[in-house]
Amino acid sequence: MSVLARYLPILVWGRAYSRRDLPGDVTAGLITAIMLVPQAMAYAMLAGLPPQIGLYASIAPPILYGIFGSSRALAVGPVAIASLMTATALTALSPPGSPSYIANALVLSFLIGLMLVVLGAARAGFMVNFLSHPVIAGFTSAAAILIVISQIKHLLGVSVPSGDTVETITGLFGHIGQTKLATLSIGVGTLLVLLLMREPLARLLGRWNLSPLTIQFITRSSPLLAVIAGIVVTGMWHLDSTAGVAIVGTIPEGLPSLTMPSTDLTLWQALLPSAALIAFVGYLESVSVAKALAGKRRQKVDADQELIGLGAANLAAAFTGASPVAGGFARSMVNFSAGANTPLASILTALLLAFSVMFLTPLFHYLPQAVLAATIVVAVVQLIEIDSFRRTWRYNKADFLAQTATFVIVLAIGIETGIITGIALSLLLYLWRSSRPHFAVVGQVGDTEHYRNVKRHAVRTDPEVLLFRIDENLYFPNAGYLEDSLRAEVAANPEIRDVVLICSSVSLIDASALETLQELRETLHAAGIVLHLAEVKGPVMDRLAQTSFIEHLAPGQIFLSTHDAVTHLRAKLYADPYGSAI
């Protein structure tokens, strides 16, 4: 049962479900659905897909996530950056909107889902920790800028051939004369409505003493209001035919039919690298949001189970004609603060979306694309964290370099190269740092039994004895540095006859570090120096006892404390000043 419950979190929250959870879940489900309908269509447009694909991505995937996911409040569906990455991946193979483009989107969802489930089964959730926060901020900010740039053409009503960032910007300037006034007015109007109906309206409503929930309900309806206004204005004056306003057009009615992603292995191979990157970025966003929300209510998120939950959601997308999904940042925050207590809120959102797809799609016919573009712009502008660059610069220059490099490469070369560079830079930075661990030569403080770093304190040292304190675990990436540092000390101080490694901070010595210690012992011995250990922890000692290390250490010893070592070695030096015992 407990294993089953780990892999099926719905058994946990479902069994413990209480009637007191229901009002919060219903409210949150409703508010999130109101916010999601326009967003789902907008992100489908960003991905180069017909609007219904975004709606489909908001039905089955969140239900599957509700069954398998470990977060209580994560709202899963189409998200901005994954949609842009989907567009990049699919455009490389076929023209946007073509039948093969749409069919390939399913394959992408399928591959992403498969990879996430496999990684989850392998308990590889820890992998996500190896992307540093500054690199994530650099990547996200640049991706958000790319998304804004990609939407300008929809706001102006001009058509620009797709290309890289520079080509898009040049194209926009070249076609700026063809801007359609009606489209621009609708776009700018929507932007204003969306911006004014957030903070300013919330402050205003706050002064009227409305409850926070009501305020949230009203402000979160702004995208829906903008959609309705856009539809009414365009439909009433037939702006699509009279003023050339691009509209969404006919959206097929009814639930998605079951789909089977292509099993063409050549296609799989072509999409696999992009799928891996989208899976990584989507998981990264989801798990960060899920963790932050869970922490606020003393709940826990299981990083490995999140892989399975998100994987199941993407597999659901693949079999219901939908594009790749992830946990959205803004959407989950709304869901959480509107009172979602359990994944039932997300399931209700999905049911409301299913209802819209079944009965409301004809209403969206006259929806101007400029309204969707404005929705996207307002959503992603919040992801641009210029302030993060300033903070990173002040706190850590190496992190700043990695952040800026990732930012520049996403903008200049592309989102996939950017994220790969970011991952590589994070790892390099980490390896570089961790290969230079902290070691210290220590000496005695006065006549006490305390020993401190010779560089920071006035301490007493014996020229014949090197007291070398290791401040980290010993394993292969830093064992070489220990060896080098110790050998440098020994080479610089020809009087040294005994070396004591103080292992008070060492809880692990791996096979490589053990070999390094053995080599050190032998080469020091050849140079007439004896190696000792001190303050070895119990578990480390148990491990060492299984090897021949300790028996070969003689005449070196293992001392309980640094002070024991010093007392013993001083006595030996005094009794035998010429070292004939060695």
Q: Measured at the alpha carbon of residue 11, what is the angle toward residues 9 and 12, in degrees to the nearest 5?
A: 70
At 19, list the tokens.
Answer: 């009637």
Interaction between residue 460 and its own copies (CB under 8 A) = no
Q: Are 554 and 548 in contact (CB under 8 A)?
A: no
Q: Which of residues 107-126 bind its own copies (CB under 8 A)?
A: 126
Q: Nearer to its own copies by C-beta: 104 or 305?
A: 305
Most distant CA pair in the chain: distance in Å?
107
Report the residue from 214, 448, 547, 567 that binds its own copies according to the rule CB under 8 A: 547
Q: Where are the beta strands (DSSP E) in 96-172?
A: none
Q: Nearer to its own copies by C-beta: 238 or 433?
A: 433
Report the residue from 81, 303, 326, 573 that binds its own copies according to the rule CB under 8 A: 303
Q: Which of residues 224-283 bind its own copies (CB under 8 A)?
A: none
Q: Nearer to its own copies by C-beta: 418 or 422?
A: 422
Q: Nearer to its own copies by C-beta: 519 or 576?
A: 519
Q: Nearer to its own copies by C-beta: 510 or 564?
A: 510
Tokens 């700043």 correspond to 400
Minimum distance between the CB of residue 348 and its own copies, rounded to whole angstroms?
24
Report the residue from 300, 390, 460, 552 that binds its own copies according to the rule CB under 8 A: 300
Interaction between residue 472 and its own copies (CB under 8 A) = yes
Amino acid at 196: L
Report the residue from 151, 478, 557, 562 that binds its own copies according to the rule CB under 8 A: 478
Q: Nearer to its own copies by C-beta: 207 or 495?
A: 495
Interaction between residue 552 and its own copies (CB under 8 A) = no
Strands 558-559 and 530-534: parallel
Q: How far is CA 298 from CA 23, 305, 422, in A?
A: 21, 18, 32
Interaction between residue 579 and its own copies (CB under 8 A) = no
Positive or negative: CA dihedral 69, 72, 74, 76: positive
Q: How far is CA 253 from CA 55, 247, 319, in A?
A: 11, 17, 18
Q: How far is CA 347 from CA 65, 66, 230, 281, in A?
A: 9, 7, 29, 24
Q: Nearer to its own copies by C-beta: 178 or 434?
A: 434
Count residues contacting its own copies (CB under 8 A)? 71
Q: Nearer to its own copies by C-beta: 140 or 183?
A: 140
Per CB under 8 A, which region of 9-17, 164-172, 251-259, 289-297 contacts its own copies? 289-297
Interaction between residue 452 and its own copies (CB under 8 A) = no
Report the residue from 6, 198, 365, 487 that binds its own copies according to the rule CB under 8 A: 487
Report the residue from 118, 181, 488, 582 that binds its own copies according to the rule CB under 8 A: 488
Interaction between residue 298 and its own copies (CB under 8 A) = yes
Interaction between residue 170 and its own copies (CB under 8 A) = no
At 86, list the tokens.
Answer: 């989907």
* Cα-Cα end-to-end distance for the chain: 63
At 524, list the tokens.
Answer: 């020091």
Q: Nearer to its own copies by C-beta: 232 or 511?
A: 511
Q: How far is CA 500 from CA 202, 490, 510, 531, in A?
A: 66, 12, 19, 6
By C-alpha distance, which of 329, 357, 341 is closest to 58? 357
Question: Residue by residue, what is the 3-state secondary structure of 63-87?
Answer: HHHHHHCCCCCCCEECCHHHHHHHH
Interaction between residue 404 and its own copies (CB under 8 A) = no
Q: Nearer to its own copies by C-beta: 525 or 570?
A: 525
Report the residue from 238, 297, 390, 460 that binds its own copies according to the rule CB under 8 A: 297
Q: How far is CA 308 from CA 67, 114, 241, 405, 518, in A?
A: 10, 9, 47, 32, 44
Q: Nearer to its own copies by C-beta: 354 or 520?
A: 520
Minimum distance between the CB of residue 566 and its own copies, rounded to whole angstroms?
22
Per CB under 8 A, which region of 20-28, 108-116, 271-279, 475-483 contacts its own copies? 475-483
Interaction between residue 448 and its own copies (CB under 8 A) = no
Say how far residue 390 (Cα) sits from the centre of its chain.
21
Q: Report the distance separating Cα 242 and Cα 156, nearest Å.
A: 16
Backbone angles phi, psi at 456, to 5 degrees: -110, -15
Interaction between residue 362 and its own copies (CB under 8 A) = no
Show the site string, 373-392: x = touches its own copies by CB under 8 A, - = not. ------------------xx
Per CB under 8 A, which region of 110-118, 176-184, 213-221, 291-299 contacts its own copies? 291-299
Amino acid at 469: R
Per CB under 8 A, which region of 67-75, 338-346, 414-422, 516-524 contacts its own copies? 516-524
Q: Are 399 and 392 in contact (CB under 8 A)?
A: yes
Report the residue from 481, 563, 568, 579 that binds its own copies according to the rule CB under 8 A: 481
Name residues whose C-beta falls within 8 Å of residue 485's C-beta, 6 or more positions apart in sequence.
439
What b/e sequence results for 355-381 when a residue is b if at least 16 CB atoms lie within 10 Å of its CB, and e otherwise? Answer: ebbeeebeebebbbbbbbbbbbbbbbe
Q: Which of residues 129-148 bind its own copies (CB under 8 A)?
A: 129-134
By C-alpha distance, which of 349, 376, 350, 364 is closest to 52? 364
Per CB under 8 A, which region of 103-111, 156-164, 368-376, 422-430 contacts its own copies? 422-430
Minimum distance between the CB of residue 216 and its own copies, rounded to whole angstroms?
17
Q: How far is CA 14 from CA 284, 341, 342, 343, in A?
A: 26, 11, 9, 9
Q: Nearer to its own copies by C-beta: 161 or 494?
A: 494
Interaction between residue 512 and its own copies (CB under 8 A) = yes
Q: Report the distance separating Cα 331 and Cα 346, nearest Å.
A: 10
